[in-house]
Amino acid sequence: MKKVFLSVVIPAYNEEKNLKLGVLEKVANYLKKQRYSWEVILVDDGSTDSTAAILESFASKNKGFRVLKEPHRGKGGTVIAGMLAAKGRIVLFTDMDQATPISEIEKLLPKFKKGVDIAIGSRTGRKGASFVRKAMAYGFMILRTLILRLPYKDTQCGFKAFKKETIRPIFERMKVFRENQSVKGAAVTAGFDLELLYIARKLNFKVSEVPVFWQNVGDRGESGVNPLKDSWQGFRDLMKVRINAFLGKYGV
C-alpha cells in the first residue's frame, strides 16, 4: 500500500452552494501539482441538501478523493471522524469554503521539519469580516486566555495540521465534541478548537501558530453570525472544557 504524506479532511454540511462555486476543483488542481502523495477525505455531516451526492460524484471522477457519509453531529464530530480515518503522515483539516486556500499549507509544512507536532493557521487581517465579528473574536480571545491559559492569538481558524502520531491521543480524548455526538440543525462549534488545543498543550505537543491568508467568502457571510447566541455558545463550550479539565476527564 502506497504511503500517504498529506491527508486533507474537509467537513461538509449543506454545502451545495459552495460546491457549485468550484471549491473542490481548486483543491484538486492544487494537490495534483504537488510531488508528495496525498488524499482528500470529504466528510458529509448528514446534509439535507444535495451535498452528499455532489461529493460522491466528484470523488468518483477525481483520484485521491473519498467520501465519508456520517450522521449529523456538527463540525466537531465530523472533523474527528475524518481525522481518525486519515492515513497521511501529516493531516490537515480545512473548511469547504476555502476561506483559507489549500495553498496556505505551504506555510505550515516547513514547521514540521523544524520539530513541531501541530501547526495552526492564524488569520491575518480577516478580510471581509465585520466589526461585530472582529469584536466577538477579540472578546473570545480574552476569555480563553483567562480561563484556559491558551497562548494563541487565533484558536478558531479552521486550518490546522497535525502529525499522525498526535491525532488519536488528542481526538480520542475529546469530550465536548465527541465523534459519536448527535445534534439537530446547524451546530455552532466554537469550543471544538479550544478543546483540542487544550488537550494538545496538556500532552506537551509542540504547537506553532502560523499567519495564513483568510477572507470571508462563499455562502456563509455575516448572515450566520448571531452575536448573542454565538457568544453564549462559545462561552458555554469554553466552560465545559474548563470543568472537564478540573474533573480530570481528559486524563492529562
Q: What's the CA gap between 121 and 37, in Å, rounded?
A: 22
Output the pLDDT for position 116.
Answer: 98
Lowest-confidence range among 111-120, 130-139, 155-164, 239-248? 130-139
Query: Which residues, 6+ apart, have CB-to-CB distance to 74 below 8 Å?
Result: 13, 45, 177, 181, 183, 187, 188, 189
Sheet of strand 65-70, all strands in order from the earlier edge strand to the far edge:
65-70, 38-45, 6-12, 90-94, 159-163, 118-123, 207-212
CA–CA separation, 41 and 34 (whole Å): 17
Which residue segments constitute the domains of the chain, with CATH numbers given?
Answer: 6-246 (3.90.550.10)
Copy the grid coordinates of residue 14. 449543506
**Confidence band for 156, pLDDT divided at 50, 70 and 90:** confident
Q: Where are the beta strands (DSSP E) in 111-154?
A: 118-123
Highest mean pLDDT among 32-46, 113-127, 129-143: 32-46
Instruction: Enumerate residues 6+ apart whose C-beta is below 8 A from 48.
Output: 14
Beta-ladder partners of 8: 40, 92
**Helical axes 74-85 vs 164-171, angle rounded to 10°:** 140
SS3 of residue 236 by DSSP: helix
Q: Is the pLDDT of residue 222 over 50?
A: no
49 or 136: whose pLDDT is higher?
49
In angstroms, how far is CA 47 from the centroid of its own chain?
A: 18
State yes or no: pLDDT of 166 exceeds 50: yes
**135 has pLDDT over 80:** no
Q: Are 208 and 160 in contact (CB under 8 A)?
A: no
Instruction: Tell which residue, 44, 49, 54, has the closest CA to residue 20.
Output: 54
pLDDT, tens only, 81-108: 999 999 999 999 999 999 999 999 999 9
* Section 106-112 average pLDDT: 98
Q: Dig out the grid coordinates for 31 from the structure.
A: 494537490
Q: Over pLDDT 90: what percentage of the chain?
A: 62
